[in-house]
Amino acid sequence: MLLIAVAFAGLQLTAVTGRASPDTKNYLSYALSLSGEDRQEAGRLAIGYSCASGQHAPLDFIPWTSRKAAGELEEQCVRRLNDSVAYWSGHGNTSGMTAPFANQRFMAIFEARPGYPLFLVPFVTAFGPTWGLWLAGLVVALAGSVCVLLTLRVAGASRRAALAGQALYLALPTGTVAMNPLSDGLSLALGTAVVLGCVLLLRDRPRTGAALVAGGLGLMFLVRYSQALLLAAALAGVFLAWSGRLRLKRRGSAPVLRAAGLCGALAAIVYAGAHLLSWPMGQDSAQDLLTHHYQRPDRPDPWPEFFVQERIFWSAWLRRQATYPVLPVLLALSAWALLKRRSVVLPVALAAGAAGLLNQAGHPNLDQLLGYRLIVFVWLLPALAIPLLLDRPPNDTAPHDASRDPAGAEKPSDTTAHAAPAPAGDTPGEVRHPTSRS
């Protein structure tokens, strides 16, 4: 695990900067304001970082850059953004934690995401914007990869499969998004903690699992509440459908039903919390898309035009996948794992992938067609499912207690050349998992 982490960190040293997107300056100015800088100075420092980052050619696996126009010099970038700040300051955007890079209604989207700027504060205070943002991204990426590894181990996968999951998480766009200075990476890392909590819930560790699920979604609410809502709702829906299937088969469904109830309740709490705080909701997101960040008048009824944009986006997205079929191939392997393996992690991974699709459906913006960040939760499915293909299928003739393990997951097994002798009373060939109960 440590070797994979060190190798990943070494590779990321090749691009300490050059990763900023247009939204990075909003989060950075918020973090600098929280660290004690006044709003004007926070905006100046954020502009300096963003424009300096734009001078570095983006790497092939970073699909966006802060540069607005090809060939824009750093001085031109600074002048453009300073002019924008002066314009919007003179047009009513005079309050809030973020610098006035746009109109107040658009900046309210970032004001409603205090978790990521708060997370950045110790990093940018101690190391400055450039190294602080890089180190924050590295911590987020490695934390998510470790949660994936632990999820697979708790679900019964071998060490080999769990390490493959960690490596896949870092190699796929999940690792790329985690390293970029945006809220999506921290939201993704917290999502992996929620996934781990769900697996613990279903593996007879209810207290630890419930604490991770509730804590992870609670922190996600502060980082990116829309993604927290979609993840909780997707988990609740998958668990509810799963419990119904188990009842039809006359198998114990109580753990799955309890997980569905917990996730459903948390989804309701997230929605109610965002509503009570008057944070932007679905209607605001639709208007943002159709009015070019509220720079044109609102649509009286945005939904018909919004669904036209959905059709346009997904048609283009499918053509893109047909041309570069990396994700379709990985999803096909994930489907094979769903059909061939029996593991508690698979329905949870399926729900996480559905949350990614729902998040992208809420933002059918063609500017995001080549990016991964809005749909990034979809890539959790192959990161969690494909490694299971490295393990042997479970022995269907073995006795199974459905009330304790509704998924019929395998016990952890490690195929090593020097396996330890099985303790008395254990079935030959099985290795007792350190977290399982005897």
Tens of pLDDT along the chain (438 residues) come to: 999 999 999 999 988 988 888 999 999 999 999 999 999 999 999 999 999 988 876 555 444 444 444 557 889 999 999 999 999 999 888 888 999 999 999 999 999 999 999 999 999 999 999 999 999 999 999 999 999 999 999 999 999 999 999 999 999 999 999 999 999 999 999 999 999 999 999 988 889 999 999 999 999 999 999 999 999 999 999 999 999 888 888 787 788 999 999 999 999 999 999 999 999 998 899 999 999 888 899 999 999 999 999 999 999 999 999 999 999 999 999 999 998 888 999 999 999 999 999 999 999 998 888 888 999 999 999 999 999 999 877 654 333 343 445 555 544 544 444 444 444 333 333 334 444 443
| 3 state DSSP class of 260 | helix
Outline where 16-90 has alpha helix (H).
24-34, 39-53, 74-89
Would you state the pLDDT for residue 434?
42
Question: Which H or E run contains 51?
Answer: helix 39-53
Would you state the pLDDT for residue 186?
97
Please list, in sequence order, all residues whose beta carbon lies within 8 angstroms of the beta carbon of residue 180, skipping any fewer than 6 positions away.
Answer: 19, 21, 24, 62, 137, 373
Would you state the pLDDT for residue 421?
42
Check: pTM over 0.75? Answer yes or no.
yes
**Residue 201 DSSP class:** H
**Residue 404 DSSP class:** T
d(CA 416, CA 419): 6
Beta-strand (E) ranges in 271-420? Answer: none
Would you state the pLDDT for residue 202?
93
Q: Which amino acid is at 14?
A: T
Question: Which H or E run contains 53?
Answer: helix 39-53
| 3 state DSSP class of 57 | coil
Would you state the pLDDT for residue 419?
40
Would you state the pLDDT for residue 253?
79
Q: Tokens standing for 238?
A: 């998958």
